[in-house]
Amino acid sequence: MEILDVIKEGSIDIRPIHKTRKFLSYPHCRKSLGLEGSKGKHYLIMGASTDTYRDENNTYQYVLGERAWIEYWPTVEECQTDEYRATCKGLDTMVQEYRIFGCMN
């Protein structure tokens, strides 16, 4: 997948915007992720830095395990519909708070 934006950058994979990264999942979890056939779709993916690995070619890979959070990110057009309006508002608010305040405990 191509990284389109970074809300909070981790300490391992620095400046990944507009770079392609591999996202790996356990075989028994792939269907429940719902990412099959999602070409052209955008997602918010949050996970622990401990789930980021660098292979022998210095390419970063992200494991989508039980600590990962994946949220479909609706298009601008979808955000205008009743179905996605609340989701879009929530995502926008979360992004603003993370960019301003970072991770708060």
- Whether residue 7 is predicted with pLDDT greater than 90 in this model: the reply is no
Q: Mark whether 85 and 69 lie in a shared domain.
A: no
Q: Mark whether 43 and 84 lie in a shared domain.
A: no
Q: Quote the DSSP letter at residue 12.
A: S
Q: Mark whether 25 and 52 lie in a shared domain.
A: yes
Burial class (CB in 10 A: 0-12, 13-18, 19+), 62: buried
Q: What is the pTM of this model?
A: 0.78
Q: What is the pLDDT of residue 37?
A: 64
Q: Mark whether 12 and 47 lie in a shared domain.
A: yes
Q: How many domains does the chain have?
A: 2
Residue 97 belongs to domain spanning: 75-105
Q: Say whether 44 sits in a helix, a strand or coil.
A: strand
pLDDT mean over 9-35: 81
- Whether residue 9 is predicted with pLDDT greater than 80 in this model: the reply is no
- Give the pLDDT band of residue 56 (cuts 50, 70, 90): confident
pLDDT, one tens digit per residue, over 77-87 is 999 999 999 99
What's the chain's average pLDDT?
86
- Domain harbouring 63, CATH code: 2.40.50.120
Q: Mark whether 95 and 65 lie in a shared domain.
A: no
Q: Mark whether 55 and 101 lie in a shared domain.
A: no
Neighbour order of strands in the sheet with 22-25: 22-25, 60-64, 52-54
Q: Mark whether 50 and 32 lie in a shared domain.
A: yes
